[in-house]
Structure 1
Amino acid sequence: MLNCVLIDDEPLALQLLEDFVNKTPYLKLLGKFEEPLQAISLLESSAVDLLFLDIKMPDITGIDFYRSLKNKPEVIFTTAYSEYALNGFELKAMDYLLKPISFEKFITACNRVKDFVETKHSKEKEKGKDYFFINVSHKMHKIFFDDILYLEGYKDYTKMHLTSATNPLLILHNLKYFEDLLDRNEFVRIHRSYIVAIRKIHTASRKSVTIQQHSLPVSDNYRDGFFAVIEQH
């Protein structure tokens, strides 16, 4: 069960989200608010797993409100303005839903959060294990962390390149899912589209890394963080 909170200054949009939550068996609504600041007490005092958060609101944007939270639940941003999408993903949002929101898109986003939270909890329980399981084409695949070369993001999908496989696995999770799942001492993001296994890197420069025969770009946004990590190894 995922505990969720809804924040939207439009009553009709808030009611629609509540109806969608009530249709989803694994979601439990803890509260709904038209004013973001009214939600702070609940967010600080309760175990909230998922926040549905409108972006454009009168007193404070959803993006600024989310940045201000000390304990940040997973977030799905909702808005009628597509230009806010990039900012939402920079905050590592699980998804971004453009109004008017269909139930199909709503449930797809929620399923992604559910899979992520369950995998995260499983990882915490199994701390110390050197593998995890992931759903690929309706089959659970056992993945050893040491087998991963790098991950390549394609919007809602990720290609996982493995030492043991000729072809990558195509997985219905975005790259942010794996960025949160994997140990950041062992895996580092070097580009909007790439996460690499640090121990698999052969060479690294300001513009690229090589892993086996693959040359992968290092982008300006991730360069400093990348070198800060590898300098600790």
Structure 2
Amino acid sequence: MPEVTGIDWLNTIKDPPKVVIVSAYEQYALKGYEYNVVDYLIKPVSFDRFLKSVNKVHHIFEQEKRTDEKDYFFVKSGKQLKKINMQELLFIESMENYVIIHMLNTREIIYTTLKQMLNSLPEKLFLQVHRSFVVNIQHIRSVEGNQLFVGKNHIPISRSCKEKVIKEISRVDF
């Protein structure tokens, strides 16, 4: 059986996966990019160069994940399933085994825990700021002392969450 190179293998696949080629031969690098490889590493590979390549792949997956994420979810309210648009969701407030989902123009009371709600929300968009509150980062207007201003509401920030809150809202591009 003839020897098959990685480039030959890529040529046989209709929808190739994300590929990083590691080779000792620089002359194949341009050929690899014809097949839309993510990166081409020349042996021996330094740790810094390897890490740069891993970060590049990670960034691509994060971009694809964002486009795949839904901007809504359904919750059971009484006998109905109600659609909640994440862009309209301001914050979620815990009341023992219930949560109140506060939206721009309305609110829903749902029989679930704050932890269950938080686990089903995209972590890049929602942040727990207190044991009883999760906020949509996009709707934070300001922070003053130990309070967030979300819409027309004042949300407390717990001392244990304050550093994380400041770090998270500082990294977000509004």
The TM-score, its normalising length taken from structure 2, stands at: 0.58
Matches within 5 A, 1:172-187: 172-187=111-126
Residue 169 (str. 1) matches residue 125 (str. 2): no
Q: How far did residue 135 of structure 1 move?
A: 0.5
Alignment partner, residue 12 of structure 2: none
Distance apart, 1:185 and its partner CA: 1.0
* Alignment map for 1:25-104 (pairs within 5 Å): none
Aligned-residue offset at 1:161: 0.3
Number of aligned positions between the proteins: 107
Mapped to 2, the partners of 1:218 and 1:141 lie a distance apart of: 29
Looking at structure 1, the residues matched to 154 and 94 of structure 2 have their Cα atoms a distance apart, in angstroms, of 15
Q: Equivalent residue for 1:193?
A: 132
Aligned-pair identity in percent equals: 23
- Structure 1: 5+ residue stretches without partners: 1-123
The corresponding residue for 1:141 is 82
Deviation per CA, 1:129-171: give whole Å up to 9, x if none: 2111110112000111101000000111100001132xx2100
Aligned equivalent of 1:231: 170
Establish whether residue 222 from structure 1 lines up as the match of residue 170 from structure 2. no
Q: Structure 2 unaligned runs (5+)?
A: 1-64
Aligned counterparts of 1:211 and 1:129: Cα–Cα separation in 2 = 23
1:197-208 to structure 2, matched below 5 A, reads: 197-208=136-147
Q: Distance in 2 between matches of 1:138 and 1:221?
A: 37
Deviations 1:66-111 (A, max 9, x none): xxxxxxxxxxxxxxxxxxxxxxxxxxxxxxxxxxxxxxxxxxxxxx
Q: How does 1:150-161 map to 2 (within 5 A)?
A: 150-161=91-102
TM-score if structure 1 supplies the norm length? 0.44
Consecutive aligned runs of 4 or more in structure 1 exceeding 6 Å deviation = none
- What is the aligned counterpart of 2:151 among 189, 212, 225? 212
Q: Quick check: which has more Rg, 1 or 2? A: 2
Partner of 2:69: 128
